[in-house]
Each structure stands twice: as structure tokens, then as C-alpha cells.
Copies of this chain bind each other. A is one copy, B any other.
Amino acid sequence: MAIIVDKEQKKKDIALATKALILNKGISNITIAQIAKTAGIGKGTVYEYFKNKDELVFELVEILMQEHNEQKEAQINKLTSTREKVKSFFGFFYIDEDRELREIYKQFTAISLNNPDEHMLSFQTQCYFFYEKWMETIIQDGIEKKELKPEIKDLIMGIFAFAQGVFIMSVTTTAIQNLQQKIDNQIDMLFDLMEER
């Protein structure tokens, strides 16, 4: 046999090595040559691990989202009120700590809109159901603690789409001045309607 490298690990290493570059310039303004140089490898090697530039962003999204989910779960577990848990969850779209993932997510969304690639599509679908399930457990907990009316279930997933939509607007227009306020308001309105008193 010969050298055996952990392909998955090296893929991650390359992606992480170019993270800063991608965050600062955007994947569409970077060349493969730059990527290779930054990662300290040859241009051809990039293609051993990635089909194309877009896949680099995909890999980064997967890595950062993994990290993010773990951190967020720990954060949310510290909270007691369901309202605060939900706000923390959607904090992704505005809190400073998540800025990097948010930037990558933005670029990833642009890629997804252009090329409905098989892998990316199924990944995004998995994410959707993962977050849906997660949110359900948070809400179910609130219902069982008699904090919330059961009808909230029908409405909570709407916040998902709302947050995503207003985030896109905040990037593509100059009309959204305070993203946090917009999202928190929506959550507050929902909870004001759905809290047991």
C-alpha cells in the first residue's frame, strides 16, 4: 500500500483553510488558483476533493452548521421559557456570533437557486426536517408545561419561512433597518396570541 489520507478530514481541512477567503471575497470572486495557494496545495489537488468551487461552499455550510447546531442546542437548553428558546433559535439570522455561517449560508442559497444540484437539495431538505423536528420538541415542551395553547403548532413553522424571507430582504434591499426587531416582534406577536394566561 501507499499513503492513505483521511479523505473526509482533508476535505474539511481544505474547506476550513479557505474559509476566511470565501467569507471576505465571496466564492464567485475567488479563483481555484487562490484557493489552492491558500490551502497550501496544488490546483489539481482541489479537484481530488471537490467537484467544483460550489462544493467548497457546500462543505463549509455542512461543517459550520454542524458546529452551530451543537452550540445552539447547548444555549437553548440553558433557557427556561419557550419564548426565549424560540427567540434564541431564530437569533441565527441576526446575532453576531453566527455572522460567518450566515454569510456562507447566503452564498449557499445563491448557489442553490442557480443549480438545483441533487446533493444540495437533499441536504437542504434534511436540514428543513431537522429544524422542524427540533422546533416541535421545543414547542411540545411549552405546551406540556401549559405555557402555550396547542394551536401554536400550526403557526410556528410560518416563522421559519418568515425569518428566511426577511433575511433575504435584508440582504437584497436597504429597506430592512432592524432585522432583530422584525424577527423578535413576529415571535412576540405569535406568543402573545398563543400563551395560556
- Residues on A close to B: CB < 8 A? 26, 28, 106-107, 109-116, 120-122, 124-125, 127-129, 154-155, 158, 160-169, 171-175, 182, 186, 189, 193
Question: Is chain A's binding surface mostly helix, strand, loop or mixed?
Answer: helix
Q: Contact: B28 with A114, CB < 8 Å?
A: yes
Contacts of A160 in B (CB 8 A): 165, 169
Q: Contact: A125 with B164, CB < 8 Å?
A: no
Q: Contact: A173 with B113, CB < 8 Å?
A: no
A-B contact pairs, 29 of them (CB 8 A): A28-B115, A107-B113, A109-B113, A109-B172, A110-B110, A110-B113, A110-B114, A112-B171, A113-B113, A113-B168, A116-B171, A116-B172, A120-B172, A121-B172, A121-B173, A122-B174, A124-B173, A127-B173, A128-B169, A128-B173, A154-B189, A158-B162, A161-B165, A161-B166, A161-B182, A164-B164, A165-B167, A168-B168, A193-B193
